[in-house]
Amino acid sequence: MSGMVSVYLNGDRKMSEDFVSHLKLFSLAESLGGVESLIQIPSLMAFVSVEKETRDKLGITDNLLRISVGCEDQKDLIADMDQALKKAYSAKGKRDRKRLLKQERRTNKQ
Architecture of the CATH domain 3-109? Alpha-Beta Complex (3.90)
Domain boundaries, the chain: 3-109
Q: Which residue has the higher pLDDT, 2 or 38?
A: 38
For the segment 78-103, the average pLDDT, to the nearest whole number, is 86
Q: How far apart are CA 95 and CA 3, in angstroms?
A: 34
Taking only the tens place, the pLDDT of each residue in 58-72 is 999 999 999 999 999
